[in-house]
Chain A
């Protein structure tokens, strides 16, 4: 069974600082990886996704993530954080086609941005 671990429950950074949110996955086959963001009182919005090909993927709002198969990681990065980035971030792994298409989510990382 697939699983996702987000080791950091809460991260605080200053506005303008760089950000890296960690995500480790466990899955036996080629993973399909996603990062979602949830602003307070809102649903989840997709930031970026990885299916295959280039291991560095670009997403919306200036985010990027790098897939490292050797480390089973898919860390999310942003070079300069804005106050509006304060939210909860979820990493997820998707099952391969042909099996159930559900996503398995990590427990989330809450990001606080200091002025």
Chain B
């Protein structure tokens, strides 16, 4: 199906374990993003990617690693999960049009609810 999909939808893991959240989009959008959503904080950007093999830190990158070997995939890895990383994680994508000043909106996946125990 076309769109942006995240997997898994729900995940419970133990402190100290490595866990990877997957994100896949079918639009060939250049930009992809990872956000975490926590009560009282709204959405905060973790990492983003402007294209394959180009990634950069967002507001809250510590404890996370990303990669983007293919345009359509943007996995987020928690190298050693901590309880403070319990959150809902959203992946998003958007187009990049250098020829225009219009910024297109981001399209969001349905989220992954991660619990670290």
A contact residues vs B (CB 8 Å cutoff): 4, 6, 9, 32, 34, 36, 41-46, 49, 51, 90, 92, 94-97, 100-108
Contacts and interface: CB of A to CB of B under 8 A. Distances in A.
B110 A97 contact: no
A43 B103 contact: no
Contacts of A95: 103
Interface residues of B, number: 29
Contact of A106 (B42, B92, B100, B110): B42
Nearest to B41: A107
A104 B48 CA distance: 13
B41 A43 contact: no
A110 B111 CA distance: 18
A76 B42 CA distance: 17
Interface in B4-61: 31, 33, 35, 40-45, 48, 50, 56, 58
B45 to A, nearest CB: 5
A80 B84 CA distance: 40
Interface of B: 31, 33, 35, 40-45, 48, 50, 56, 58, 90, 92, 94, 96, 98, 100-103, 105-111
Given A97-B103, A101-B31, A101-B50, A44 B108 contact: yes
B111 A43 contact: yes
A32 B103 contact: yes
A98 B77 CA distance: 28
10 contacts: A44-B90, A46-B107, A49-B105, A94-B103, A100-B56, A101-B31, A101-B48, A101-B94, A101-B103, A103-B45
A51 to B, nearest CB: 6
A51 B102 CA distance: 7
A4 B29 CA distance: 26
Contacts of A46: 105-107
B105 A107 contact: no
Nearest to A36: B108
Contact of B42 (A34, A102, A105): A105
